[in-house]
Amino acid sequence: MKKTSVDLSTENIHQAPPMSYGDYLGLDALLSCQHNRSAEHDELLFIIIHQSSELWMKLCLHELAAARDQIRRDDLGPAFKMIARVARIQAQLIQGWDVLSTMTPADYSRLRPHLGQSSGFQSWQYRLLEFMLGNKNAGMIPVHQGDPATHDRLLAALGEPSLYDECLALLARRGFAIPDSHLSRDWREPYRSDKAVEAAWAAVYRDTATHWELYELAEKLVDLEYRFQQWRFSHMKTVERIIGYKQGTGGSAGVSYLVKALDLSFFPELLSLRTAL
């Protein structure tokens, strides 16, 4: 039987084209996510600023979840890098508000009727971020009841130890006297500051040479909160600049709510100890 020769030259072998930049990033899908609901010039700005903020928050959640796991394992080196990265992401989020502030009250008043009941208050990723850092508030979850998957995810996050809870557990493992009330509690409840926790952190700050790793962790947390507060402040001032003290979209309280948020602290003892030192 005569054998049939097979041409194996590279010209005749089908090869998939190399993956392009656009393919890797899914740019066709990404750049198709902006759907204007009006003819207003500034609507594209409004959409892109909020979409990019959600992408940055997705990365924050990725980094903080991993940092929490590393702290749980007593492996602080990688956690330092992750927490520092989130603090730098906050700078990007703050810059976003600076860009949005180029929208004037007149610009926004023409756009606002097209926003319907949508509001940044409904950002479930922002709520997850606050839960991750320790600002637990079950009252913020019902707004997401219309999306069962998101609602369940928020409920699960509400019941998990926060990043700071894991830091306190680490202090206890390192021999510091952390009250049992702060090591085993209902994680769904808001965190309450405690003098014994402040004393533990103060001992770290008074002997940084002995407790350098914990001292570095504390300062990473302080930097994270500092940047987060800058982000909150920039948000508040941008809203104030554009709509004043009007009620926000979706029934939110607008500036009044954002001002109150500035009083919240994720890691209260790390701030109060500075007065005590």
Mean pLDDT value across residues 200-211: 98
* pTM for the predicted model, two decimal places: 0.89
Helix, strand, coil shares of the chain, percent, nearest 5, are 65, 0, 35
What confidence score (pLDDT) does residue 256 get? 80
Mean pLDDT value across residues 51-78: 97
Contacts of 205 (CB under 8 A, 6+ apart): 215, 218, 273, 277
pLDDT band of residue 245 (cuts 50, 70, 90) is confident
- For residue 244, is it left (φ>0), alpha (ψ between -120 and 50) or beta? left
What confidence score (pLDDT) does residue 136 get? 95
Which DSSP symbol is given to 3?
Answer: P
Predicted confidence (pLDDT) at residue 6 exceeds the cutoff of 90: no
Average pLDDT value over all residues in the chain: 91
Top CATH class of 41-276 equals: mainly alpha
Short-list 222, 217, 113, 112, CA closest to 170: 217
- The domain ranges of the chain are 41-276
Lowest-confidence pick of 10-24, 31-45, 122-136, 244-258: 244-258
Each residue of 119-172: pLDDT tens digit?
777 899 999 999 999 999 999 999 999 999 999 999 999 999 999 999 999 999
